[in-house]
């Protein structure tokens, strides 16, 4: 999970490096990550089995993510951890903790309960984003445009009747 979280956080670093034409940093980062993954698998699988493979993968993914973020920062001074981005990450972690607690307590085991949990977590996440003011001006512009399109679409549906 740690590897995926760090990969998600530094995801913009990957795309920013591609955009500025520095794919060599990406290649080197993934080569280093692969070598580390192979070495960790050789050690950890013997002692921990499948869990060791998962730990090795998570660590190597995290290391690649850190390498890409450092590379982008050294080249451009940019980093993915803006104030708005950290608000979204924090909201995601809180919603994820909620899902973890529910799954550990097996409160919702059936398909109907699963759908209900999905809706509930989505609403919690949306509420956390609103409370944290995680929207920037571009997000608000998109929301306004979607609202306008929905209103115009509904009015055209009324005319069809």
Q: What pLDDT digit, counting tens, does each position of 121-161 carry? A: 788 877 877 777 767 677 778 878 888 877 776 555 455 44
Task: Using pLDDT thresholds of 50, 70 and 90, give the confidence band for residue 62.
Answer: confident
Distance of CA 23 to the CA centre of its chain: 22
- pLDDT, position 158: 53
pLDDT at residue 15 tops 80: yes
Distance of CA 50 to the CA centre of its chain: 24
User: How many Cα atoms are found within 13 Å in the side-chain-facing hemisphere of 48?
Assistant: 12
Nearest to 37 by CA among 11, 65, 56, 58: 56
* CB contact at 8 A, 143 and 135: yes
E strands, 1-156, are none
**Residue with the larger pLDDT of the pair 94 and 82:** 94
- pLDDT, position 3: 65
Kindly state the average pLDDT of the residues 17-39.
93
Calpha distance 57→29 (Å, rounded): 14
- pLDDT, position 160: 47
Kindly state the average pLDDT of the residues 30-58.
93
Nearest to 125 by CA among 95, 157, 147: 95
Which tokens go with 31? 């080569």
Q: Is 79 helix (H, G, I), strand (E, B) or coil?
A: coil
- pLDDT, position 106: 65
Percentage of the chain surpassing pLDDT 70? 82
């Amino acid at each position: 999970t740690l590897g995926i979280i760090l990969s998600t956080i530094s995801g913009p670093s990957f795309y920013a490096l591609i955009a500025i034409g520095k794919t060599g940093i990406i290649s080197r980062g993934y080569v280093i990550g692969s070598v580390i993954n192979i070495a960790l698998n050789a050690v950890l699988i013997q002692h921990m089995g499948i869990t060791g493979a998962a730990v090795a993968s998570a660590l190597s993914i995290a290391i690649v993510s850190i390498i890409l973020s450092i590379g982008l920062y050294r080249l451009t001074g940019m980093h993915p951890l803006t104030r708005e981005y950290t608000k979204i990450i924090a909201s995601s972690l809180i919603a994820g903790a909620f899902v973890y607690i529910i799954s550990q307590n097996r409160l919702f085991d059936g398909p109907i309960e699963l759908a209900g949990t999905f809706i509930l977590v989505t609403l919690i996440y949306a509420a956390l984003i609103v409370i944290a003011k995680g929207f920037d001006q571009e997000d608000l512009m998109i929301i306004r445009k979607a609202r306008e399109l929905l209103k115009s679409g509904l009015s055209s549906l009324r005319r069809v009747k």
